[in-house]
Amino acid sequence: MIIVVDTNVLVSALIRDSATRRVLMYSGMNFVCPEATALELRRNRGEILAKSGLAAPDFDFVFEMILGNVAIIPDRDIEACRREAEEIMSIIDIADAPFIAAALDIPDAIIWSDDKHFEKQKRVRVVKTEQILRMLFKG
């Protein structure tokens, strides 16, 4: 199973030492995110670093460990699904269309997000952190 990780999940893992961080760093699950997400994280590194309370070298280690465990999907690879994703998310939150497009492009992919607005669409399965933890410790 491939898990498309929402930006907020990644930011949460970067800011706090949490179960989310440990899952992303050590679970061995197959995580992916759209290219734009990785670029956004790098662009906002300073702000995320400040919120984390970590020293820069420690933050950089965590940052690279997490992103090293999340495969980046180039925008061109999800372009074929972008229009359908935008239609699905047009009245929900168009900014999240890349996550839907990535999940549509990858057979049996799910989205990991704690954002409630993803629940308004029914095309792609969305799981919350609590469900990820159950999946991890169940098997």
Reported as a single tens digit per residue, the pLDDT across 22-61 is: 999 999 999 999 999 999 999 999 999 999 999 999 999 9
How many other C-beta atoms can be found within 10 angstroms of the C-beta atom of residue 56?
Answer: 12
Write down the domain spans for the chain.
2-138
Q: Crossing angle, helix 19-26 and helix 56-68, to 10 degrees? A: 60
Instruction: Provide CB contacts within 8 A for 133, sequence distance 6+.
Output: 19, 23
pLDDT tens-digit map of 105-134: 999 999 999 999 899 999 999 999 999 999
Phi then psi dihedrals of residue 92, to 5 deg: -105, -70
Architecture per CATH, 2-138: 3-Layer(aba) Sandwich (3.40)
